[in-house]
Amino acid sequence: MVCSLINKLERFCRRRSFPAIGLSLLVTAMLLACIPLATPFSSTSEPTVKAQATSIIIVATPTPLAQAILDEARAEDLLLISVYEQVNPAVVNILSYGFYQEGEGSGFIIDQEGHIVTNNHVVEGAEEVQVTLYDGTIVEAQVVGTDPHSDLAVIEIDLPPELLHPVELGDSDQLQVGQRAIAIGNPFGLEGTLTTGIISSLGRTLPAESLYAIPEVIQTDAAINPGNSGGPLLDAQGRVIGVNTAIRTTTGGNTGVGFAVPVNLVKRVVPQLIAQSHYDHPRLGITGHTITPLLVDALGLPVERGVLVLEVIANGPAARAGMLGGSQEAEIRGRTVREGGDVIMSIDEREIVQFEDLLAYLVMQTEVGQEVTLGIVRDGTEQTLKAVLDARP
């Protein structure tokens, strides 16, 4: 069509004698008019393609754990599962009702006669005790015996032997700091709860509900909370090594410091609680204080270790043996101490370094009526006394 127009225009210009140069310019203008102008801002223009950087995605593939590590972890899981399945049927929840009071705790079955060990403070003063077994069975229980000196108690339920699953008792003398500790109980009423940790320390002394203290107490970081009281502390074989009894806390909850009465004390106390409803703890009949460098310097003591006898209880075993207590008072850093008494250095040829050593030996190794030999220092001279232990009042 453009060529036809150009031919017609050429004939027209020739008839009109239009200059040749003008014709050329006119044709060029027409050709330029046929070329479309670029319209970069037109809505119909194609979008400008810009080069973009290609993102590099790195997929991190975790290194698989060695099979030996996985096997070890699985073995630990199976151990805890096994202990729980073995012991949980023996653990019970205890509710006690008394005059204007209600208590809750745990306990564990120790024989097929229906005897259950728990803490004294769980059932103390109870007029009615109710036990819930692991399978939900609820049964009334009778208090058989209590001992505030060790915070132990025994209650009894009447069920067929085939429904009772006793625990196995271990040996707390063989324990080591760092070994596994497992607690099963009913914290805050949550039945059948298992927690784990380690034995944090041994040989602790814990104040009891009486004027005396409990020696050889086990410290653990296994979570123990209100409601765990009276439940078992176990070793990796599922054997009872202690009775959970207390926690140290400023909030009322677990802070990783729990205490358990050692099972070897349970073995001494519980048979007597079953047989005669109480346990006779042997006593020496003194009050004393561990000798420290401060006491040595302040009182001019002739020895650097042992127990300074502050007071001898009248008519007690020590008094009958001729032991002497302090004869006068001295003030040391604002505290009054009786000085001038004997210093106990040994009992039955066992060295006494601190008061807890003497207490532990009396509680764990002796019985009422037993004669003990005491090595003492009096006025700088070593002597030997023999005392026959009697029962705590």
179 vs 209, higher pLDDT: 179
Smallest Cα–Cα separation from 86: which of 236, 221, 198? 236
Domain regions of the chain by residue span: 2-34, 89-276, 282-391
The total of other beta-carbon atoms located within 10 Å of residue 316's CB is: 18
Given the candidates 3.40.50.300, 1.10.287.70, 2.40.50.90, 2.40.10.120, the CATH classification of the domain at 89-276 is 2.40.10.120
Active site residue 210: no
Separation CA 73–CA 222 (nearest Å): 19
pLDDT in tens, 333-349: 888 889 999 999 999 99
The total of other beta-carbon atoms located within 10 Å of residue 210's CB is: 16
Angle at 216 between CA 234 and CA 243, to 5 degrees: 35
Please tell me the least confidently modeled range out of 91-100, 177-186, 370-379.
Answer: 91-100
Separation CA 260–CA 226 (nearest Å): 13
Active site residue 121: yes
Catalytic option among 147, 151, 221, 390: 151
131: left (phi over 0), alpha (psi -120 to 50) or beta: beta
Per-residue confidence (pLDDT) for residue 180, from 0 to 100: 97
pTM above 0.75, yes or no: yes
What tokens were used for 193? 């709860």
* Secondary-structure percent of the chain, ordered helix, strand, coil, rounded to 5: 25, 35, 40
pLDDT at 41 over 50: no
Catalytic option among 115, 121, 149, 281: 121
pLDDT at 320 over 50: yes
Please tell me the least confidently modeled range out of 17-21, 144-148, 240-244, 246-250.
Answer: 17-21
Separation in Å, CA 335 to CA 289, 294, 307, 331, 340: 13, 12, 17, 5, 16
Per-residue confidence (pLDDT) for residue 44, from 0 to 100: 40
Active site residue 281: no
pLDDT at 63 over 50: yes
- Average pLDDT score over residue span 71-80: 88
The total of other beta-carbon atoms located within 10 Å of residue 115's CB is: 20
The total of other beta-carbon atoms located within 10 Å of residue 330's CB is: 14
Name the one residue in this structure whose structure tokens are 């006119």.
26
Angle at 6 between CA 2 and CA 12, to 5 degrees: 145
- Average pLDDT score over residue span 228-235: 96
Per-residue confidence (pLDDT) for residue 43, from 0 to 100: 45
pLDDT in tens, 264-286: 999 999 999 999 999 999 999 99
Separation CA 153–CA 190 (nearest Å): 22
Catalytic option among 229, 342, 346, 390: 229
Given the candidates 1.10.3720.10, 2.30.42.10, 2.130.10.10, 3.40.1390.20, the CATH classification of the domain at 282-391 is 2.30.42.10
pLDDT in tens, 12-36: 555 555 555 455 555 555 555 555 5
- For 242, the enclosing helix (H) or strand (E) is strand 239-247
Please tell me the least confidently modeled range out of 44-58, 59-73, 272-286.
Answer: 44-58
Find the radius of gyration of the CA atoms of the chain.
44
